[in-house]
Amino acid sequence: MPVISQDTTCQTVLTTFETTPGVAQDLMEALQAAYAEVISQQPGFISAALHINDAQTRIANYSQWQRREDYQAMLRTEEMRKRNRVINGMCKSFEPVMYDVEGVY
């Protein structure tokens, strides 16, 4: 389960996927499968959460990794490269961005 804290030393990654209502559930299922079958098994993975907006035009993903390099290594695996090509086909765009926690209220 994700824990958000200023004292954390982990790498936080927020990814936003822009999609359409007709494809949103397919995209969500592909992301859920990727987490269940591949991502959550990778070295350095801590936790993740998937969110979808009411209009089903955006999916947001929050993930935590022990180190930035762990996240990058996961993206370079052959399985995730293959899955990301499929996921990309279901999106108008997606952008992972690495963040540091600066405040928790």
Confidence of residue 4 (pLDDT cuts 50, 70, 90): confident
Please tell me the total count of domains within the chain. 1
For residue 69, is it within any domain?
A: yes
Q: Is residue 41 part of a domain?
A: yes
pLDDT in tens, 48-99: 999 999 999 999 999 999 999 999 999 999 999 999 999 999 999 999 999 9
Residue at 51 is within a domain:
yes
DSSP 14-54: EEEEE--TTTHHHHHHHHHHHHHHTGGGSTTEEEEEEEE-T
Rounded to 5°, angle at Cα 102 from 97 and 105: 115
Report yes or no on 5 lying in a domain.
no
Tell me: pLDDT of 2 over 80: no
In a domain, 35, yes or no: yes
pLDDT bucket at 45, cuts 50 / 70 / 90? very high
CATH of the domain at 87: 3.30.70.100
Tell me whether residue 74 is in a domain.
yes
Which domain, by its residues, includes 18?
11-99
- Residue 3: inside a domain: no
pTM score of the predicted model? 0.92
